[in-house]
C-alpha cells in the first residue's frame, strides 16, 4: 500500500536553520553598509528659484513670444543697376543739383552723401520736404497699400531749425507762426530732426496715432530733454490754437536702443531713415549700420530726381 503521508512529507520544502554566528555576521555587514551610506556626500538640494528668477524667466519667455509674433523686417531694397549707374551721373553735376518746394541742394551739399561724410541741414531738410510732399500728394490721391505693408501717413515736417527755436521757448521762438496754416493735431505724425550742439543728429516725432512722444537716437541715448520739450510744445500749441490745455492721458515717452551707428558720421543718414519709416507707419526698423552705404546711394538718387522711391 502507498503511504500518502510519506509522499507529502517528501514533497514539503526543507527547512534550514542558521547559527547565531551567521546572524551576527549578517547584521555586522548591514551595519557597515548603513555607516558607509551615511558617510557618503549628501545629494544636492533640489533647485528652488527665487521670485526674481521666476520673474526674469517669465519675462524672457514673453519677449521670445513677442519676437516670434513681431513682423519680420524687410531690409531696404537695393537700387536696380540702371538707377545705381545714374547715381554716378548725378554726382558729376555741378551747381544746383535739385530743387523741391522751397529746398534746393548743390553739388557740395550732395557730396555729403558720399561715404564717411556728415550730413548738413540742406540734405536733411530736402529729404524732409520729400517726405512732406509725398504725404500731401497721397491725401489727394490715396495709394493702395502694398503687399509689403508700406503705407503713407498724413505727416507734417518741421525743419532742422525748429529745435533751436523750441529751446528758446514757445513765445520767444515765435513758434505759433510755424503752424499758422496747418493744424498739427489733425496729423498722424509730426516729424522733427534734431541737431545736438552741431555734433550729432537724432530724430523725434509727435505720434498722434499711437499717443507717443518718440525719440530715435542712433547712439542709443535716451533723450529725456526731448520728451520734456515736446510735451511743453504740444501743450502750448494746443492752448494757442484750441484755447484749452492738451490732454496727455494715456500718452507715453518712447525710445529704442537699436539700430545703432558704428562710426561718428552716419547719424544724419540714420535720422533721415528713421523719419522715412515714421512717415510710412513702419512697425519695425528696416535698416542697420550695414545698410548705410546702400542707403546713401539711394538718397543721392532720390534727391537728384526729387522723388522718393516706392519700394521700401
Write out the H or E segment, with its range, that includes residue 254. Answer: strand 252-255
Cβ within 8 Å of residue 20, ≥6 positions away: none
What phi-psi label fits residue 281: left (phi over 0), alpha (psi between -120 and 50 degrees) or beta? left
Q: Is 267 exposed, middle or buried (0-12, 13-18, 19+ CB in 10 A)?
A: buried
List the grid coordinates of 172. 520767444
Q: Which of 188, 200, 266, 282 is catalytic?
A: 200
Cβ within 8 Å of residue 229, ≥6 positions away: 166, 167
Answer yes or no: 138 catalytic: no
Cβ within 8 Å of residue 131, ≥6 positions away: 155, 157, 191, 275, 276, 279, 308
Answer yes or no: 267 catalytic: yes
Write out the H or E segment, with its range, that includes residue 150. Answer: none
Answer yes or no: 196 catalytic: no
Q: Which of 109, 188, 266, 267 is catalytic?
A: 267
Q: Which of 217, 266, 272, 282 is catalytic?
A: 217
Task: State the Cα–Cα distance between residues 312 and 308, nearest whole angstrom.
Answer: 10
Q: Which residues are catalytic?
A: 200, 217, 267
Amino acid at each position: 500500500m502507498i503511504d500518502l503521508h510519506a509522499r507529502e512529507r517528501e514533497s514539503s520544502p526543507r527547512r534550514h536553520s542558521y547559527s547565531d554566528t551567521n546572524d551576527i555576521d549578517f547584521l555586522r555587514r548591514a551595519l557597515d553598509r548603513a555607516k558607509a551610506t551615511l558617510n557618503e556626500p549628501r545629494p544636492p538640494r533640489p533647485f528652488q528659484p527665487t521670485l526674481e528668477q521666476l520673474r526674469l524667466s517669465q519675462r524672457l519667455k514673453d519677449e521670445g513670444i513677442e519676437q516670434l509674433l513681431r513682423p519680420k523686417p524687410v531690409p531696404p531694397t537695393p537700387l536696380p543697376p540702371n538707377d545705381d549707374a545714374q547715381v554716378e551721373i548725378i554726382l558729376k553735376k555741378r551747381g544746383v543739383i535739385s530743387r523741391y518746394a522751397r529746398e534746393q541742394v548743390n553739388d557740395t551739399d550732395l557730396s555729403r552723401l558720399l561715404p564717411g561724410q556728415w550730413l548738413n541741414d540742406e540734405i536733411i531738410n530736402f529729404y524732409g520736404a520729400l517726405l512732406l510732399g509725398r504725404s500731401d500728394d497721397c491725401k489727394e490721391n490715396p495709394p493702395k497699400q502694398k503687399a509689403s505693408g508700406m503705407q503713407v501717413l498724413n505727416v507734417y515736417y518741421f525743419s532742422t531749425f525748429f529745435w533751436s527755436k523750441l529751446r528758446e521757448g514757445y513765445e520767444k521762438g515765435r513758434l505759433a507762426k510755424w503752424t499758422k496754416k496747418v493744424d498739427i493735431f489733425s496729423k498722424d505724425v509730426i516729424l522733427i530732426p534734431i541737431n545736438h550742439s552741431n555734433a550729432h543728429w537724432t530724430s523725434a516725432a509727435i505720434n498722434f496715432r499711437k499717443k507717443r512722444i518718440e525719440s530715435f537716437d542712433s547712439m542709443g541715448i535716451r533723450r529725456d530733454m526731448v520728451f520734456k520739450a515736446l510735451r511743453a510744445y504740444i501743450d502750448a500749441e494746443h492752448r494757442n490754437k484750441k484755447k484749452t490745455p492738451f490732454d496727455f492721458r494715456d500718452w507715453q515717452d518712447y525710445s529704442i536702443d537699436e539700430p545703432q551707428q558704428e562710426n561718428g558720421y552716419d547719424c544724419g543718414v540714420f535720422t533721415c531713415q528713421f523719419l522715412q519709416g515714421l512717415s510710412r507707419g513702419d512697425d519695425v526698423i528696416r535698416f542697420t549700420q550695414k545698410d548705410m552705404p546702400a542707403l546713401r546711394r539711394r538718397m543721392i538718387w532720390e534727391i537728384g530726381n526729387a522723388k522718393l522711391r516706392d519700394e521700401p
